[in-house]
Structure formats: structure tokens, C-alpha cells
A and B are shown apart, each in its own frame.
Chain A
Amino acid sequence: MSLWEYANPKKFMQTSSWALPWVAGLSVLALAGGLIWGFFFTPDDYKQGSTVKIIYLHVPSAMMAINAWVMMLVASLIWLVRRHHVSALAAKAAGPIGLTFTAIALVTGMLWGQPMWGTWWAWDPRLTSFLILGLFYLGYMALWQAVEDPDTAADLTSVLCMVGSVFALLSRYAVNFWNQGLHQGASLSMDKEENVSDVYWFPLLVCISGFVLLFVALVLMRTRTEIRARRLSALLARERLA
């Protein structure tokens, strides 16, 4: 039993229809548990007050915004090397989800930043690089939209995803460089990883696992939709020929 069997659309549909409710259910449980624990049963931070609790949305969504891109990259490579259609469709499915996570990370970052830094938006390196990541997602999705032939679109978006990954990484370092160079940035830094104590850390872990499961569930769902749409167009094409 090889892993590649799941690349067959039929096999994927069977397995995912069985797995989807479990993944979705677990993600709801983890999210509900993690968020309730985090929001109501952790103490306020002595410095940041209750605003610190936005961490439970901000950090996991930021992580998943990056992980979604990595997943897209892996799926694109699989498509380019092995020509499995499910892989290309999964990459397509992940795009809007990744963009949504990026948007959530940005909005929660702004909400957090307003009381903390006194401004809705600062060109902090992290915020800036997420904004740029969002632009990469937009371009990737726009290319999928613009190309009519599905296999051509899959090829082109895969190439874009590979090249884009390199440039997204470069942008990340460029932005770090740029901000230090301008603002001597320390005033706006927020060393959250170092600050977070166990009290916040455990519910955060639960939330992160909830977001991972949510991402998997959404990707499964959207990939199933894409497969059905693809099957529909295949059937229509066959009908036209008959």
C-alpha cells in the first residue's frame, strides 16, 4: 500500500469522505477547548492586560499562513514531478485558505498593536512580511483564475509557487534588513516567544493543534470540491463528444 494511492481521485474521495468528519470534529473540539481555556482561564498579563489573549488567534493563524504556503509548495512539486492531479488541486485549494489565515494574522496583529503600540499599523518587519506574503497568495490565486486549461494552470502556478517561495524568503530577510536600517527597530519589537510562560503556552499549543486540524479539514473539503468540479467538466466534455 503506497502513499501515492491517495493521488488517485477516487481513492482520495473515499478516504477523505471518511476522514473529513473526524478531522473537522477534532478541530472544533481543540479550537473550542483551547480558546475557552485561553480566554477565560488564564491570568491577564501584568503589562499587556487582557489584550495578550489575542495571542490564541494571532500566533496559530500566522503559523498556518506560512505552513499553508509550504504545503502548496510541496503539493506543487509533487504535481510537477509525478503529475498527480489531486496534488495540483490540493495546492489550488490551499491558496485561499492561506490568504485567509494571513488576513486573520494581520487583523489580529493590528488589533493587538493598537493598544500596545498606540497605532493600528506599524511597518514592523513581521507585519510587513505578512502583508507581502498576502500579495504572493493573491498573485498565485489570480494566476489560477486567469488560465483556462486546468493542466496548464496547474503547471504555471506550480512554477510560480516555486519561484515565489524563493522570493518570499528573500523578502522576509530584506524586510528585516530594511526596518533595522531605518528605525533601529527595537522599540516595536515584541519578543513573544521568550515572554510566554507556561500558563499561556499550554492553551496556545491546543489552539495551534486546532488550527492545524482546521487547515487540514478545510483543504480536504476544498480539494473535494475541486475534484467534483473537475469531474463535472470532464463529464460535460464527454457529453459534448457523444
Chain B
Amino acid sequence: MELVVENLAVARGGLTVLEGVSFRLAAGGALILRGPNGIGKTTLLRTLAGLQPEVAGSISAPPESLTYGAHADGLKAVLTVEENLAFWAAIHGVGGVKDAMAQMNLTDLRGRRAANLSAGQKRRLGLARLLVTGRPVWLLDEPTVSLDVASVALFGAVVRAHLAGGGMALIATHIDMGLAEARVLDLAPFKAKTPMSAGASGFDEAFA
């Protein structure tokens, strides 16, 4: 069980933003992605999740092992907390809704509609979704946005428990989540030097 990324280049809007990204993540490992805004953290995570094609390089991971936690939580406002989680659990064919609510401190809110949650509570619900996917590799894009200090610590503990169970996490974040054991990957050195030369994008040399 290992996520291996070799010499990966990713593009956004037809321009290569990152190139030569390589890393390995073994079971139980966490990697924190850092870099200034616009460097391509989200693009990298979306590429890893399989939502967009890579420009170059390779990603090898066991099939259906990754799950993506984006800026948007994928919640339906008219469904309750429990219904939202139960839906994603059913889609992924795993259970554990009650356990996920307990871990993210949502049990008291289970019957409340997502529309009536605060931003932080919504975020916690969005993160609880990761627990009901049953997938080992979590790709997290700024997971702590709108969480208070206590919730950040809570989520840090959830991630640590996930890692202890043989899971992996790839986290793009600017704040300290208390994951001392996580390695840090600074993306700034991988900024693409020749954004136009992307073979897969629209800017083949003949156009520019």
C-alpha cells in the first residue's frame, strides 16, 4: 500500500503550473503541501484524485484508494447531517456513519439540516465524509478553513487515528495541525519553468 508520484507535471487552464513533483507516501504516512497561493496545490490534488489528466509523469496508487476533500464540502442543504453522511456511506458501500459523527463531534447535530449549520459545523461534516468513504488515501485541500482551534485539534486527532490505522494523508494547508510526524513538501521549487511547453495542453510550440 503505497502512493508513488514520479516526475509529475500538472496544468491549470492550459498552463503547466508544477513540474517534476516526486514523492512517496507509505501506509501511515502524511505529507503536508506548502507553497504560496496559486502555486498549484489544488491542481495537484485534483490531478491526484483523477479529476484532471496529468501533463507528464506518473501516479501509482491502488485503484479506488484515494478520496478528495475539496474546498466545497458536497453537502445538500435540505438533508440532515445524518442523511448527508449516510448518502456518501452508501455510495462507497461502507458503514460507520455513527462512528464518523462521534469522531467529528456531530452526534448532537445529527437531525439538523445542513442549511442550519454554521460554517465550521459544515466543514466538520464535510470532513466526517472522509471517514465513511473507507478509502485509505485522503487528499485534503485546506481542511481547516473556518474551523476553530478546538475543531482543528479534533480533526488533527482524527487524521492521526486514520494514519495509525494504516491510512495516508496528503494535506495542503498553511496552519499547524499538530501533526508533528508529517513530512512537509514545499512546492515552490517545483514551479514550472516553461509553462507553455506542455504537450497535453493547448499551447504546443506552434501556437506560441
Establish whether A and B are touching in the complex (CB under 8 Å): yes
List residues of A whose CB falls within 8 A of some B CB: 8-10, 85, 149-151, 227, 230-231, 234-235, 237-238, 241
A238 touches B202 (CB 8 A): no
Chain B residues within an 8 Å CB radius of A231: 207-208
Give the most central of A10, A151, A234: most B CB within 10 Å. Answer: A234
Nearest chain A CB to B200 CB, angstrom units:
8
- Interface membership of chain B positions 43-68, coded 1 if the CB is closer than 8 angstroms to chain A and 0 otherwise: 00000000000000000000000000
Could you list 16 A-B pairs, sorted by A, with CB under 8 Å?
A: A8-B206, A9-B206, A10-B206, A85-B202, A85-B207, A149-B13, A151-B202, A230-B202, A234-B196, A234-B202, A234-B208, A235-B208, A238-B195, A238-B208, A241-B195, A241-B196
Sorting the interface of chain B by its residue count into under 10, 10 to 19, 20 to 34 or 35 or more gives: 10 to 19
Nearest chain B CB to A76 CB, angstrom units:
16
Chain B residues within an 8 Å CB radius of A150: 14, 202
Cβ-defined partner of B203 (8 Å) among A10, A149, A234: A234
Chain B residue nearest in CB terms to A13: B206
Dominant SS at the A interface?
A: helix
Bound: A231/B203 CA distance, A: 9
Cβ-defined partner of B196 (8 Å) among A9, A227, A238: A238
Chain B residues within an 8 Å CB radius of A238: 195-196, 208
Cβ-defined partner of A151 (8 Å) among B195, B201, B206: B201
Chain A residues within an 8 Å CB radius of B15: 237, 241
Q: A241-B15, A241-B195 are in contact. Are A9 and B207 (CB under 8 A)?
A: yes
Bound: A9/B206 CA distance, A: 6
Check: B176 CB closer than 8 A to any chain A CB: no
Chain B residues within an 8 Å CB radius of A234: 196, 202-203, 207-208
Chain A residues within an 8 Å CB radius of B195: 238, 241
Give the most central of B15, B196, B201, B208: most A CB within 10 Å. Answer: B208
Chain B residues within an 8 Å CB radius of A149: 13-14
Chain A residues within an 8 Å CB radius of B201: 151
Give B182-208 interface residues, CB cut-off 8 Å to A: 195-196, 201-204, 206-208
Bound: A32/B124 CA distance, A: 74
B206 touches A237 (CB 8 A): no
Bound: A227/B204 CA distance, A: 12
* New A-B pairs, 19, CB < 8 Å, besides A9-B204, A234-B196, A238-B208: A8-B206, A9-B206, A10-B206, A85-B207, A149-B14, A150-B202, A151-B14, A151-B201, A230-B207, A231-B207, A231-B208, A234-B202, A234-B208, A237-B15, A237-B196, A237-B203, A238-B195, A241-B195, A241-B196
Nearest chain A CB to B9 CB, angstrom units:
16
Give B1-42 interface residues, CB cut-off 8 Å to A: 13-15
Chain B residue nearest in CB terms to A230: B207
Chain B residue nearest in CB terms to A154: B202
Chain B residues within an 8 Å CB radius of A10: 206
Chain B residue nearest in CB terms to A227: B207
Bound: A231/B204 CA distance, A: 10
Chain A residues within an 8 Å CB radius of B204: 9, 85
Give the most central of A10, A227, A237, A238: most B CB within 10 Å. Answer: A237
The 4 nearest A-B residue pairs measured at CB:
A9-B206, A234-B208, A234-B207, A10-B206
